[in-house]
Amino acid sequence: MRVRLLEPLKISSKGSREKIIRNHSRKKSKVPPSLPSGLPFAPTTPVSPGGGRRGARRERGGSPGPAVKIPQRHSSFEDCIRLIKMWTAVVNCLLRSKVYQDCPRVSLLIQKSRNIITRSSPLQYSAGVVQAAQPFNMNARIQKVEALDANHFVSRKLPLEDLDVEIGVKDITLTDRKKVYIIWPNEHTSEFEAEWLKKRCFSEQARAKMREELFVPEHEYWGSDLQFPEMSFEDVLSSDESAYTWLSTLKKVGIVMLTGAATRQGELVKLGKRIGFLRLTFYGPTWQVQDKMDANNVAYTTGKLNFHTDYPVLQHPPGVQFLHCIKQTTAGGESEVVDGFHVSRKLKQQNPQAFQILSSTLVDFTDVGVDYCDFSMQSKQKIIQINDRGEMDRINYNNATRDTVFDISAEKVQPFYAALKEFVNLLNSTEHKVTYKMKPGDIVTFDNWRVLHGRGSYQSEKEIARHLEDQLLSSFGSASRLHSCL
């Protein structure tokens, strides 16, 4: 086991309480003065705390404090007792200093004599925290001295009710190492990487750049001229680079075809687990799209399927959908897709009033039946859902599950239907839709919040019955996997 004191310390008494105070002027001591002498310290080469990917900041400059190494071998039982006493002393010092109760704050402005809030956890950045390189349960109190590892940002530690929103700044300095050094009125100090603060600036330019980095570049809109992105199914499963290309393309374009999958059930489960986890619905974790005698869904027939998104009947519809072609008929069964965001933009350009109606009117959806389980679902959704920046966020449209109940006033009914018909006409325009026919082994993956899909009618064949397997995932699962690759 290895223990590191990350920062030079000076522990002094003030009244009945002790505080950990930085001391840059004095020569660094090899052993913190508050710890009892005679303990088995074995100084080693100091290790500087690393910077985290997000939320990473380093406390004051200068060399890090001495590392403390516990001997790997003990010659006697007395050495073990001394070791336990050492750990107890270290933990008691930290607990008395209220390290884990000190006040982290969140930075709003960096300007002297102005009220600001800074996000600086004394646990990590100002107290010289003891870190164990492996779990050590010698004393349960050690678990209470839990720091945010500089390399793994976990969460905020400060209860918001303890936040002082009126705190000011005593002094602020930009160091030659491109760091911002702050002294607070209570003498607590914080140091931030200037670049870290710049990325979190509240200017519109900085915020736009951060959104681009966090949420991947802007969408690429498309119509009937779409060059269908294709990748190897096996490459996506085996190569992280290919998986990243797949997910980033799926985010940007909204649709990717994977080829070369085995023509059997279960391949979608492998693909879903490559991202994270599957989205269970009342049709099961996956379901088989085939012509069925007792069909409880229009997809289980040979008829035409009009453009739709799946599950607007759910309050939070699944964001990603996979369709795996296991068997295909020779006559009919062509698939169709259309970019709902692109069509919505076109609608807004040619008829702003229709766009406003579809993006503000709540429409009732319902679905009742028995499959994986019995279900009776209702929801209210806007056909075009926009976010707080006025951007398209999600399309919620499935005419098959639109309810006969419509909870709006009578004078709004005709304008709504006129707007919806114009939107649907644009969806079906040859200028916007893409038609293709899946081959056995193809898996089409698409953004269910953006891409509407449909199918032409087909003839059921005894020898080769059309068979697709379907699966849904939550959008945050794919987004999480994509961000972890950045």
Q: Which of 11-25, 254-268, 430-444, 449-463 has the lowest mean pLDDT?
A: 11-25
pLDDT of residue 107: 32
Helices 267-275 + 475-485 axis angle, to 10? 60
Confidence band, pLDDT 50/70/90 cuts, at residue 470:
confident
Give mean pLDDT, residues 251-258. 95
Sorted by where each starts, the structural domains of the chain and their CATH numbers stand as 2-202 (no CATH), 230-485 (3.60.130.10)
Which contacts qualify for 34-40: CB closer than 8 Å, 24 or more apart?
Answer: 34/9, 34/93, 35/86, 35/89, 35/90, 35/93, 36/85, 36/86, 36/89, 38/82, 39/82, 39/85, 39/86, 39/89, 40/70, 40/71, 40/79, 40/82, 40/83, 40/86
Q: Which run of H or of E encompasses 434? A: strand 434-436
Q: Which amino acid is at 290?
A: Q
Closest alpha carbon to 117 in 56, 9, 200 = 200
Provide the pLDDT for residue 27: 42
Give tens-digit pLDDT for 365-414.
998 877 767 778 899 999 999 998 888 999 999 999 999 999 999 999 99
Tell the residue number behind the tokens 């008395």, with chain if given: 96
| Residues in CB range of 309: below 8 A, 6 or more apart | 317, 340, 395, 396, 397, 398, 448, 449, 451, 452, 453
Tens of pLDDT, residue by residue over 27-39, are 444 444 444 444 4
Quote the CA–CA distance of 258 and 321 in Å, as a whole number.
13
pLDDT in tens, 167-226: 888 999 988 778 899 898 888 888 888 888 888 889 988 888 887 776 655 789 999 999
User: Cα–Cα distance between 2 and 124 in angstroms, integer?
Assistant: 17
Angle at alpha carbon of residue 150, lines to 145 and 156, rounded to 5°: 65
When pLDDT is cut at 50, 70 and 90, the band that residue 83 belongs to is low
